[in-house]
Chain A
Amino acid sequence: MSMTATVAHAHADPHHIGRAAEHPGPAPKRIVTAYGFWVFLLSDIVMFSCFFAAYAVLSGQTAGGPKGSEIFEQRNVAIETICLLLSSFTCGMASIAADVRNRFWFYLGMAVTCVLGLIFLAIEFREFADLVARGYGPSRSAFLTAFFSLVGCHGLHVSAGVLWLLTMMAQVFAKGFRADVLRRMMCFALFWHALDIIWVGVFSVVYLLGGGA
């Protein structure tokens, strides 16, 4: 029956257009996992967009407190940005190393990524602590509320990323490059790159636009 159907199909459809459009069945696990994680990342970006929107609404509401241009330090932000962009590169190297099952380069790539992430977090923490010490904490004005929340939300994501990164290294150490470990590594890499993209948004909207004005 299926033979005849296929034959009949071939006559009616010499270029196999219909058959090409026929759904081949469930996708392999690797595709499904990465796809699901992409969907999660999209939802995470929607969440960030709310904080961006809040920042856009509240950035002028300084309530007599400091404006952005008075508190942002371009040099620090530049170092932060360089750290994150470099860490994306090293994270990519670690992914390639995982794909070719090279433990040494995997550990090295992940370790450098981790250090760069920690430097980023340290600079951000110092910036926050400095602002709070000067009395410019998030309760000072709606602008500072939105600033601390948006940048802090990204910082929390990076912290979670570092925790995940260390867990991934431990897992490769204990379990090797198993299929499920590689799938998780792929998700981690997606996550880390997505944080970079969000940082580009934070850098532009908060520090570049706010710093100039």
Chain B
Amino acid sequence: MLGKLDWSAIPFDQPIPLIAGGVVLAGILAVLIWVVVKGHLPYLWHEWITSVDHKRIGAMYILLASVMLLRGGSDAIMMRIQQAIAYQSQGYLPPEHYNQIFSAHGTIMIFFVAMPFVIGLMNLVVPLQLGVRDVAFPTLNSVGFWLTATGALLVNLSLVIGEFARTGWLAFPPLSELSYSPGVGVDYYAWSLQISGVGTLVAGINLVTTVLKLRTKGMNYLRMPMFCWTTLASNLLIVAAFPILTATLAMLLLDRYLGFHFFTNEAGGNVMMFMNLIWAWGHPEVYILVLPAFGIYSEVVSTFSSKPLFGYRSMVLATMAICIISFMVWLHHFFTMGAGPDVNAIFGIASMIIAVPTGVKIYNWLFTMYGGRIRFATPMLWSVGFMVTFIIGGLTGVLVAVPPADFMLHNSMFLVAHFHNVIIGGVLFAAFAGFEYWFPKAFGFRLDERWGKVGFWFTFVGFWVTFMPLYIVGMLGMTRRMQHYDVAEWRPWMLVAAFGMLLLTIGVLAQITQVVVSVRNRDALRDRTGDPWDGRSLEWATSSPPPVFNFAFYPDVRGEDAYWALKQHAKEQQLGDHPGPEYQDIEMPRNSPTGFVCAFFATVMGFALIWHIWWMVILGGVGAFATFVVFAWRDHDEYVIPAAEVERIDRINIEERRSLVSMAGAV
């Protein structure tokens, strides 16, 4: 009836996951009760859960990423503490638990923090920057988000029901095969990623189509803001790379569920095929994350230097070059696994070549700042912090791209330090920069600058204190994923790293405080004009938060930095009463619970697949199909906002802006 599921799946003998799970469950219950008692449920349902508005979905993506950042961060804290005390002792985490923690940490941070954070920002910003009213497929967008949430839910469910994978975040066979990992851990891993992978693919298709087919009048390719370019590149990579992950995990699952022989040691299976396939996805994945980050830095650096981006065209070229070369370097993840010197040399050189366009970008940001009137607001701090940090991460990357050096450093703590250096210094800093930068746009008020700066400095210093010691112990020979060790030279560095983790934790707490303080002071921090940073691209041309239709008229773009040009023009013209065209009715897509219901059935199906509850699998599948049929059967998929209402909303924004321009004129 319930497949492999019985009471032994609940880890009653392990206090840590049980207490953690209990606390999380209590927290969720408390929030739910508060929502229901306060009567917020209808609001949440109509305005958020069923919303197909790209801005709302973007915000929900970012919320999901932030919550999962706390989960992945807790894992990180536990690992740092373990390695700080497990010198000539077992520490406080038994090996099987420690292995689950590092596997969950990597899986969560990549798939459920970094990915939803950048996809959330792209969702929120790209349609606004392109001057359009929504993404190409609004309902699919909602489906994509909720499927991602399903994956996150399943990963967290493994905390209290069953176990998570102990195989590392990429579940290499033969360890991940049934004979060596008979439990449900790998199944939790694989099904979560399959389901959220569908969500990611949907988001990728949606954003590629949006950038290529939905741009406002005059928004030629070479007038798009840099963030739109990097979004395009990143989502092209999603479309090309995520199917590889889907296929690879499908093969692993077939091995585990039906006794196939893709990656087994028996009957001719080929383990190296897994390495090639997974990294053919895995390396582009790195650029899926970091390209949008580069886009965010481009926007922030240009805005806060009050200058157009230096070398815009070279930036576009560098982005697309990275997009292509990223598919030609995957083998550098396993130089040591017998490819031979010729192959290793080719991939080593390709890996070094990819540093060239990245270097071009760094110089472009520096030259953008040069001679600019720089304002060190929090987003700019994150960007400058990134440049300093990322260069070190990039240099160590070029170092491990040299095959002979890699033979020394493969799977060492040096590698761990390197990829945290580029992912935290590159992607996470960008996520925070983008969060600070676009928060006023999404919610209509700024974030508290003081707490933002506290958060930045603790995170920035904390990062260096945590990860520089890892480079050193890597050079001293420490391999990754050690549950305990006996080498005295490593110990002091592990203590330093644990202290760094404390600083990072304070940084995160400061950022949470920042949000709380800002929400409380939101009236004082209100952004009335929609343009709090003196921005340059079209998202700042509408109010904060933007109306559901974003723009009353499709903006007519005449050049790069569309909104900046508009403002200059307005100042010269004193923003006279432009007669403009008549306001017209606007049709917007209706909200739909399709995404949420579909994700509900996906959760049921995923859970049933993990525990071999076959009747429930069928139920989930039929339910998901029925959901789509019901969606396809509805008669009214759009509603109309009358012209008078559009005019009323637009007039308010125009009045606010006019006061801004007249003030600027007075200065």
Q: A23-B218, A145-B261, A184-B632 are in contact. Are A36 and B239 (CB under 8 A)?
A: no
- List the 6 closest pairs (A to B, CB-CB), nearest first: A61-B268, A142-B268, A50-B247, A47-B243, A139-B259, A36-B209
Cα distance, A130 to B63, chains bound together (Å): 52
Residues of B within 8 A of A53 (CB): 273, 277
Task: State in angstroms the CA–CA spacing of A24 and B219 once bound together.
Answer: 8
| B247: chain A residues within 8 A (beta carbon) | 47, 50-51, 54
**Is the beta-carbon distance between A139 and B220 smaller than 8 angstroms?**
no
Selected from A25, A39, A51, A143, the residue in CB contact (under 8 A) with B205 is A39
Please tell me if A95 contacts chain B, counting CB pairs below 8 Å. no
* A73 interfacial contact with B, CB 8 Å: no
Q: Annotate A138-160 by CB proximity to B: 1 below 8 A, 0 otherwise.
A: 11111101101100000000000
Cα distance A14–B465 in the bound complex, in angstroms: 63
Q: Which of B258, B629, B635 has the most CB of A within 10 A?
A: B258
Cβ of B213: which chain A residues have Cβ within 8 Å of it? 26-27, 31-32, 35-36
Q: Whole-angstrom distance from the CB of B122 to the nearest CB of chain A?
A: 16
Number of interface residues of B (CB under 8 A): 52
Q: How many Å lie between the Cα of A71 and that of B217 in the bound state? A: 59
User: 11 interchain pairs (CB within 8 A)?
Assistant: A35-B209, A39-B239, A42-B239, A43-B239, A46-B240, A47-B243, A61-B261, A61-B267, A138-B258, A143-B268, A149-B260
Decide: B251 and A149 in contact? CB cutoff 8 A: yes
State whether A36 and B215 are in contact (beta carbons under 8 Å apart), knowing that A46-B244, A174-B633 are contacts in the complex: no
Q: Is the CB of A50 within 8 A of B270?
A: no
Q: Contact between A26 and B205 (Cβ–Cβ < 8 Å)?
A: no
How far is it, in angstroms, between the C-alpha of A46 and the C-alpha of B240 when the chains are bound?
7
Chain A nearest CB, measured from B265 CB (Å) = 11
User: In whole angstroms, what is the CA distance A167 to B240 when docked?
Assistant: 29
Contacts of A174 in B (CB 8 A): 633
Indicate if B627 sits at the interface (CB-CB under 8 A): no
Q: Which of A24, A141, A149 is within 8 Å of B254, CB to CB?
A: A149
Of residues 543 through 595 on chain B, the ones whose CB sits less than 8 Å from some CB of chain A are 554, 556-558
* Chain A 113-172 interface residues, beta-carbon cutoff 8 Å to B: 138-143, 145-146, 148-149, 163, 167, 171
B330 within 8 A of A: no
Contact indicator A25/B268 (Cβ below 8 Å): no
Nearest A residue to B625 via CB reads A163
Binary flags per residue of B300-312, CB closer than 8 Å to A gives 1, else 0: 0000000000000
| Interface class of chain A by DSSP | helix
Q: Is A69 an interface position by the 8 A CB rule?
A: no
B100 at the A interface (CB under 8 A): no
A60 to B47, CA, bound (A): 57
- The interface residues of chain B lying within 8 Å CB-to-CB of A31 are 213
The listed residue (B218, B261, B635) touching A141 by CB distance below 8 A is: B261
User: What residues on B are CB-neighbors of A57 within 8 Å?
Assistant: 270, 273
Is B220's CB under 8 angstroms from A22's CB? yes
A139 touches B205 (CB 8 A): no
A57 to B259, CA, bound (A): 19
Q: Give the A interface residue count (CB, 8 A).
A: 47
Find chain B residues with CB under 8 A from A163 CB: 625
B 129-170 binary contact with A (CB < 8 Å = 1; else 0): 000100011000000000000000000000000000000000
Given A39-B209, A43-B240, A43-B242, A141 contacting B637 (CB threshold 8 A): no
9 additional contacts (CB under 8 A) given A61-B261, A139-B261, A145-B269: A23-B216, A25-B215, A39-B205, A46-B241, A50-B248, A58-B273, A141-B261, A143-B268, A146-B262
Q: Name the interface residues of B422-451: CB closer than 8 Å to any CB of A.
A: none
> How many residue pairs at the A-B interface have CB separations less than 8 Å?
144
State whether the Cβ of A13 lies closer than 8 Å to any Cβ in chain B. no
A147 to chain B, nearest CB (A): 11
Instruction: Compute how far the CA of A180 lies from the CA of B261 in the bound complex, rounded to whole angstroms.
Output: 44
CB <8 Å contact, B270 and A47: no
Q: Which of B208, B220, B246, B261 contacts A142 (CB 8 A)?
A: B261
Q: Does B212 lie at the interface of the complex (its beta carbon under 8 Å from any beta carbon of A)?
A: yes
Contact, CB under 8 Å: B132 / A26: yes
Cα of A44 to Cα of B267 in the assembled complex, Å: 29
Which residue on A lies nearest to B238, using beta carbons?
A43
Q: Is A40 an interface residue (CB 8 A)?
A: yes
Q: Tell me if B270 and A32 are in contact (CB < 8 A).
A: no
Min Cβ gap B284→A in Å is 11
Decide: B209 and A32 in contact? CB cutoff 8 A.
yes
B267 touching A142, Cβ below 8 Å: yes
If A23-B217, A35-B212, A146-B262 touch, does A43 touch B243 (CB 8 Å cutoff)?
A: yes
B625 touches A63 (CB 8 A): no
Q: Is residue A17 contacting chain B, with contact meaning CB distance below 8 A? A: no
Q: Is the CB of B217 within 8 A of A40?
A: no
C-beta contact mask, A29-41 vs B, less than 8 Å → 1, else 0? 0011101100110
A25 touches B216 (CB 8 A): yes
User: Using a CB–CB distance below 8 Å, which chain B residues touch chain A?
Assistant: 132, 136-137, 201, 204-206, 208-209, 212-220, 239-244, 246-248, 251, 254, 258-262, 264, 266-270, 273, 277, 554, 556-558, 625, 629, 632-633, 635, 637
Assess whether A15 is interfacial by the CB under 8 Å rule.
Answer: no
Whether A36 pairs with B205 at a CB distance below 8 angstroms is yes
Known contacts A44-B243, A141-B268, A145-B260: does B216 contact A26 (CB below 8 Å)?
Answer: yes
A24 CA / B216 CA spacing, docked (Å): 7
A11 is an interface residue with CB less than 8 A from chain B: no
CA distance A35 to B137 in the complex (A): 11
Interface residue A8 (Cβ < 8 Å from any Cβ of B): no
Docked Cα-Cα span, A14 to B254, in Å, equals 64
Option from A2, A35, A58, A184 in Cβ contact (under 8 Å) with B262: A58
Given the known A-B contacts A32-B214, A46-B243, A141-B261, are A23 and B268 also in contact in the complex, defined by CB atoms under 8 Å? no
The answer to whether the Cβ of A21 comes within 8 Å of any Cβ in the partner chain is yes
Complex CA–CA separation, A110 to B238 (angstroms)? 34
Q: Does A75 contact B (CB under 8 A)?
A: no
Q: How close is B260's CB to chain A, nearest CB, in angstroms?
A: 4
Q: Is A81 an interface residue (CB 8 A)?
A: no
Give chain A residues whose Cβ lies under 8 Å from the Cβ of B258: 138-139
Q: B244 to A50, Cβ gap below 8 A?
A: yes
Q: Is the CB of A47 within 8 A of B244?
A: yes
Smallest Cβ-Cβ distance to A51: which chain B residue: B247
Q: Within the complex, what minimum Cβ distance (angstroms) separates B247 from chain A?
A: 4
B267 to chain A, nearest CB (A): 4
Contact indicator B240/A141 (Cβ below 8 Å): no
**What is the CA–CA distance of A50 and B251 in the complex, to the nearest angstrom?**
10
Q: Chain A residues near B269 (CB, 8 Å)?
A: 58, 61, 142, 145
Q: Which of A26, A148, A167 has the most CB of B within 10 A?
A: A26
Known: A27-B214, A139-B267. A54 touches B251 (CB 8 A): yes
In the assembled complex, the Cα of A136 lies from the Cα of B205 at a distance in Å of: 39
Once A21-B220, A23-B217 are accepted as A-B contacts, the answer to whether A171 and B633 lie under 8 Å apart by CB is yes
Give chain B nearest CB distance to A74 CB in angstroms: 25
Of the residues B136, B217, B260, contact of A25 by C-beta under 8 Å: B217
Contacts of A143 in B (CB 8 A): 268
Q: Which residue of A lies closest to B219 (CB)?
A: A23
A47 to B214, CA, bound (A): 27
A-chain residues with CB within 8 Å of residue B251 when the two chains form the complex = 50, 54, 149
Q: Which residues of B contact A58 (CB under 8 A)?
A: 261-262, 268-270, 273
* Min C-beta distance of A46 to chain B, whole Å: 4
A168 to chain B: closest residue by CB = B632
Contact pattern, A 82-100, Cβ under 8 Å of B = 1, otherwise 0: 0000000000000000000
